[in-house]
Amino acid sequence: MSLRDLDGWTVLFDLDGTLVDSAPDLVGTLNRLLVEEGLPPARPEAARTLIGSGARALLAHGFEAAGADVERARSDALFERFLVDYTAHIADGSRAFEGVVETLERLAERGAVLAVATNKRSDLSELLLDRLDLRRHFLAVAGPDRVSARKPSGAHLKEAVAMAGGDPARAIMVGDAAPDAEAARDADMPCVLTTFGYTPVPVDTLGGDVLIDAFEDVEEAIDGILAEFYVRRALKA
Ligand SMILES: O=C(O)COP(=O)(O)O
Ligand SMILES: [Mg+2]
């Protein structure tokens, strides 16, 4: 099968749980703060499912699950401490999932524009991408602070595509959790979901168009989505 070129297409990637297995350091920071506060640390397998709506949500849910009252769990002072600790440990154990670099290179060689659409703050996202030498692959990094509304709003995805100079009608979202699938639906974009990311509910209930068990399968998933796109367009013509 000859591969179609991807000129004119933008592929958006979620960061945590899609490009990078960042749970060890996010949960590491959460647990250091819990222990400092005299609370029990979270089980990593449970805490990782809380990732996907930003650090503030992880912190608040993690603290509430450990028995802290809501006011303490949501205080700005605690969030500031989270940021200081996480910034210092952001790439201690976090690594790109297997196949990420090769796959991003292949997509770029085929003409796709690549960008990141994440609920992780832009400064932290860029720091993490820099530390793992991944930033060079992306034309734009859209954290929630750079868009008018964060995922699950479709505005996050449309504005990320625009930041990369692309067309939202020719864009595909790749993510791992409900905010990604909902944002894609809201933006009317096809959505690929990883089965190795972080979600509290089964990933096959989220309504993604294609599920992938390995990052390298992104390319085949995109080819399938494009094939359908062009068949539909030909039928309309
Ligand atoms: O940091 C988070 O909780 C979310 O980040 P993500 O949108 O890249 O999954
Ligand atoms: Mg994610």
The annotation status of 176 as a binding-site residue, yes or no, is yes
* pTM, 2 dp: 0.96
CB distance 14 to ligand 1 below 6 Å: yes
Confidence of residue 2 (pLDDT cuts 50, 70, 90): low
Give the residue extent of every domain in the chain. 10-22+94-236, 23-89
pLDDT band at 237 (very low <50, low <70, confident <90, very high): confident
CA atoms lying within 13 Å on the CB side of residue 100: 24
Is position 5 annotated in a ligand binding site?
A: no
Question: Spelled out in words, what is the top-level CATH class assigned to the domain 23-89?
Answer: mainly alpha
- pLDDT higher than 60, residue 1: no
Atom of ligand 1 nearest to the CA of 22: 1
Residue 26 CA, closest ligand 1 atom number: 1
**Catalytic residue list:** 14
Residues whose beta carbons lie less than 5 angstroms from ion ligand 2? 14, 16-17, 52, 176-177
ipTM above 0.85, yes or no: yes
Distance CA 101, CA 118 (A): 18
Tell me, letter by letter, the H, E, C secondary structure of 203-216: HHHCCCCEEECCHH
Question: How far does Cα 128 stand from its chain's mean position?
Answer: 13
Count other Cβ atoms within 10 Å, centred on residue 93. Answer: 14
Residues 127-143 pLDDT 10s: 999 999 999 999 999 99
Q: What pairs with residue 20 in β-bridges?
A: 16, 96
pLDDT score recorded for residue 201: 95
Other beta carbons within 10 angstroms of residue 38's beta carbon come to 8
Quick one: pLDDT at residue 236?
Answer: 87
Q: Do domains 10-22+94-236 and 23-89 have the same CATH topology?
A: no
The verdict on domain 10-22+94-236 having CATH code 2.40.10.120 is: no
